[in-house]
Structure 1
Amino acid sequence: MATPFEEAYASLNPQQKKVVDTIDGPLMVVAGPGTGKTQVLTIRIANILKRTDTSAPSILALTFTESGAHTMRQRLIQFLGTEAYRVRIETFHAFCDDVIRNYPEYFPIPLNSQPLSDIEKFQIFEHLLQTLPLTNLRTINSPFHYLRTLIKTISDLKREGISVEQYQQLVKEEQEVFDGEKEELKKTARSKREKELAKMTEIGVVFQRYQELLTERRRYDYDDMICFVVEAFQNSAELLTEYQERFLYILVDEYQDTNAAQNKVVDLLASYWGEAANLCVVGDPHQSIYRFQGASLENTLGFLHRYPSAEVITLKQGYRCPQQIYDAAADVIQHNPKLENVLRTDHVPAETLHALSEGLSKPLHSQLPKTQQTVIHVTAMPTEQHEQLFVVEQVQALLDKGVSPQEIAVLYRNNADGVLLQEIFSKHGISVSVENKQDALQSPALQQLFLLLRTVLDLRSGTEGPELAELLFAPWWKFERVVTMKLLRAAGKMNASVYELVRRGFSEVIKLSETTDLTQLDFGLYEDFFERLVEWGGDEPNQPFCYWLEGVTQESGFLDWAAAQPERLLLLEQVNSLLQFVRQLDSNGMKLNLDSFLEIIQTMMEHQLAVPVDLSVVKEEGVTFSTTHKAKGQEWDYVFLIQCNDGKWGNARGGRSLPLPSGVLHFDLQAPENLLDDDRRLFYVALTRAKKQICISYPETVLSGQNTKQVLGSLFLEEVPAEYKESKEFQVDEPKMVSFLKKITPPEPLVDWSTREKEWLRQITAEMPLSVSALNTYLHSPEEFLKKYLLKVPERPDARLAYGTAMHAALEHVYRGWLDTQVVPNERDVLVHFKKILEQQSLPQAEFELRLERGYEVLRQYLQRPIAETKPIFLEKFFGYGTSTTMLGDIRLTGRIDRVDWIDTTLKTVRVVDYKTGRGKTLNEIEGKVGTADYSARELALPEPIRGVLKRQALFYKLLLQLDRTFAGKVTNGVFEFVEPDRDGKFVTRELPLLDEDVELLKTLISDVMTEIRELKFLTSNS
């Protein structure tokens, strides 16, 4: 009876057998999609052990992913049994980490150093961007704008094997080249190059300090694992010899995706044997899709340069796809440059190069039965909604025919592309299986738990943010909503926290909250609630944080509430994942407490770092949803590739936002032509996932902000020859489309407002004044209006708002001095006043210093302006309060205007002036003609003269002055002074006429909005 190995060997085709039997010497295997690569590799390992006296631990197989290593070992167990466990099958990083742990004395890191976690990396880079003297990599209002790009850039450097010292030398050389040619450059080109060099220099500063901090904190990052081992092997013959003698045979899977540093590890291990090394690499240059991880096209020919005697074997028979797909994929990929046209080939023997070129230029021969049916379908859709309906109907039709959902996949370019369609599938009763893991931090339930933790910390530190108000409405507390709303409003009117209000006692609260329906029993619930929050805050420092957190989830009732929900398995698994994450941080020596934990959560949410949830407990068998990157190595009978548009699949906009010196990367990974080649390889991978049929679709119009724009199908679709594809349009009748849209449209949040709650809100809105901020908030988000202006939920201090407050105060000080004394205050006096106001804003020290420095810089420049030429009448003038009566019918309008200046004292014409501390805007932006991506549907529907948020503000100020009978002037213009200078150091001022007819439109809008508010329409619609 044949053994499993003999049966597997007998099933191989001639090329596969040749790979298995070619045991000695260097070997390159070109293995396209569905050629049985993994099976051949594992049989080859088994054959080495059977035909030689090599022991299992003397074979090293390096893979690109953990899943690849797992699959290879599983198959090897079938042939070798327990002996398979002794073969070294590892990822590059696992191998290098093992070297570091076993031989720490060879590495430039402190003993007991640990790998750096993602959250630690992001925290370190936040710290670097906040504390290093950077001017080109940090902006005041978005100090972390370059954070992700900076992390990626330094990772690229490490993956190309470039140290801090080497990088800084490259920048120095780049500077010397520029110094020698800058006089010949035009002004614009010279300025651009100077800024690029400034950024390169600062990258070096960050890179150096980052490595120093890793050493200080006993950490090394993911890329250091490879770089450290390369350096140790190069510097220590003893260590290198130890590993060279240990491994007699080396195999590398997915070779096309390895980077320069990984290749160096392999070459050093094989260097003892020179050009005759027993080194086998397997890959397919057409499927090199991890270029963003530092892999380069040089891998393939680079291997043949180093091992000119290597044999090249191409696996020519494919067992996955119909011939049409293999032919189409080959035609598409031939539009990429041939390797020998972009890389040196002079050291590669002609016959080897010919074998490689032939293997890469010809399509695979499908071993599946021939079919006359077209298996590649391309469908253009009028809209994204048509595409969604098409995919739902096609998948449902397959399921109705008895096709297993596990044999169907929906693939897309980016994770975000599949989210909405997953929800639509669920609404149609189609189960889905998502390849990417769920993030516990995105769970609404856990976000409410974080509100609880933030509130505990706030109360302990004597502050209160908006989290407390939201927490009072959490479903696991049993508070009556109308009572909670009254308490919040009463606290807001007193400018106190709800906590302070409750501490005053029952009788005082009854008087202040203007309510008679709060019982002593109900009030006791609030007292108990706050006592428990304070108690938790006091207990936390005295317990291990993880133990304390587990206790809070139980004692708060959160776990009991979660266990009673329909989706309880998922909710409890999310909680478990969070607690497991906390335990892991503890085990890494991070010494968590409540403050540091919440900082970690905030950092992770800001930078989209995930706490992965194990969905195996709740996972259903369903249609696979996956990015094409994650689909590599997998196959399905039926594949749907969605949103295959130009700009998403090929011709992507953008590129590297941080420059690097010439020659740092062997290929400019972000050059447009290379990005196009990368995308084409990814499209090749998508095509070759299908065993029976692939349906490719794209919408002809997409939503861009609040507008729709026409888009084309991908260039790659045109590269698929007509004989291999069937192109058609999707036809659907209107009733079916209407029914589909109704089904997928999210329902309005179901909030059951009681009669008592509505009556109370009517009392509030009947006499409430209206400011332009309240008006604009209502138009943008009625829900936000309810929280901010009716419930008066406190807002957490914002650094930009704090800076704006201090800057406004400083400018008032400047113009007040000029108005009162006809003398502009001196620079020192203004800066002292600015600092005094900024100190009152309770900013974190690092943020305070950053804003203080920026404010000083701005004010020094501002004071150079011709301030003495202005003719101010009012400064920081309040309207609608005291003696100022500004009534529009029965609506009291209120506001505060930064400055009102005379234009002509004879004609009594004036302009209203408003200071803005953000980026300068164009008149079109001010008027809402462009830059409306963040506008709500209600705002976009407004008449053009009052559509722009800023223009509406200026018109509102004109209306205030018109309604104030104490003022006799005529407002003709509005001015916005942007007090942050632009890139050229100039201050932007925009002035626009304020027409009476536009004010009339605003009056109508105000009346309509106030009617809606008083009728509580915002409770039942988005208005």
Structure 2
Amino acid sequence: MPYLGQKSVPVAYERRENILDAPIIVELTSMAELVVALAENRQDEADAMFGQVLGYDFWKTAPELLIDISLECYKKHRHWLDVLSKHKNPQIKAITAWFIDLAKRSRLEPMEYMLDRLVGGTISGVDNEFDRIELPAESPAKFISPFKEHYFGSRRYSSATESYLTLLGQLSTLRQRLRQWQPNRTLRIKDLTEFVRLNQAAGLKIIDTNPHTQTTNAVQVMTAYKAKGLEFEAVFVINAQDEVWGPTARSRTPRISLPHNLPIAPAGDSDNDKLRLLFVALTRAKHTLHICGYSHDLDNKLSPALSFIDSISGLEHQQISKPTSVKAVEILSTDWSYRFRQIIADKPALMAPILEDYKLSVTHLNNFLDVAEGGPYFFLMHNLLRFPEALSPSAAYGDSVHQTLKWLHGELRQKTVLPSTSAIQKYFGEVLDRKHLKKSDHTRLSERGREALKRYTKEKGSIFEPKDLAERGFNNDGVVVGDARLSGKIDVLHFKDVGRTEVFDFKTGRPAPSWQGKGEFERIKLHKYRQQLLFYKLLVEGSASYQGKLVVDKGRLEFIETDANGRLLPGLELTYEPKEMTRFIALINSVWKRVMSLDFPETSKYPPTSRGILAFEEDLLSK
């Protein structure tokens, strides 16, 4: 790999790197270890961690400053925390105060929240799939970790896309594995350090296997197993040595030996198995085959060539001069995973695996258009690249309510009557319990959801009918509008007369009495809601299941919660107008074109208002 990188030869491969050894993960877990050491008042361990953590590049701390601090601690026999918290450098004091605050929070906040703080995200960040709800506001953070901006800022994406995607894959893999580790328990930040320790102690690797392609004409690097069934114009079989492929190759030793009387043996260790695998590798070439070996190994010991091919006639042997030792050491000591890639990678090829099967949802569309919350770049990070973050309280609450309504409708279809209020509240509580929220948020949202569902089903339970479909998904219905592939899920398809239906969309949060909206926040929210109902009409009428069979003639918002006066408001209805639908279809295709061409325009010139969003939409349509 280093030699290909040095020669600017692009490669495509399946990553097999242990993410626990990746620098970005080491830095993140080291910060977590420091927080735990401070929380448990283990000063000696905190002393050792502070010097390491503050040396990371994203802090931009001068090395001379850290040396001075280290010498002061040594000469005066003081702990790092004492010196740092009283240091005259304002940045050092701010970072130290931040770590102390995290240590205090670590016993109360879930691990997911703490990871967001370490990374530099926001706990109650924007989540447009569910309605933002009002919770007691925390005081604004005095300090935000520079980790996210350093590794995942817009400049890095533009100038070093491959590195950006590699780091994102590693961070995503870590958080996915943590979520799978003990899914029925609310983890704390100490559990992250324990998770890492257990994997390392057991010699287990956490592998990022995301497919990776640098350009469309990249050299394919793969194992012989992966190459089965494939063919290439030219093939290079590397390391053609007995110690790799032949009789002297080391056999795989199982962790647990099999009983001696068991009439089976591990596959793949006999000479015949190795020969068959080598045959697979050699027969992948259509026209040209290069079998490459070496005369000496890295310890400068003689290494026999592969004995399997000694007797084959017609092979042309060519001696290639060995690189100078200085050159070889220089290349091999360079971290090729992070340094050689940028010269040769091109953005379309890197993003091709993501775009190949991508389908646009209305949430993604609204995020792309919402210049008040980041617009195209927010869409890129959170929807296209799926930057890993904790589930916000709003999202956890909204999802729990929607899952409960889906279950309620399923019970109605099966038993023809709605479940009891206590059963509905119990189900909601069980779903919310699995969200692993902070205790104060969980208590507040649990009470709120139980009361809202009780009131809504009592006063408006008749809206649910057994013949309707709840949470109808369209991901596999082949919906295409213009060039855009669409996907999504509709809360309720309410069937009316033959060939006619309405779509219902349930909303949590403060209800709106009309489509106009009173304040800026509500106007933006209602604009998105309107586009959701327009989108749902396209989903139904363009789907393989209903195309030519169903017409959606109305859309309706149903507000689950009461207004400030404790009243449930009637739903907001939308009658579809041809002119509005034509504009919306054009807008979808304009956004789709931008996404497929990886064109994410700068939107800072637009005001963060509903007028700014409409101006951005008009500019997209005009181009």
Give the TM-score range, shorter chain: 0.3 to 0.5
Q: If each structure's helix is expressed as a fraction of its own residues, which one has the higher value? A: 1
- From the CA coordinates, give the structure whose radius of gyration is larger: 1
Give the TM-score, by structure 1 length. Answer: 0.30
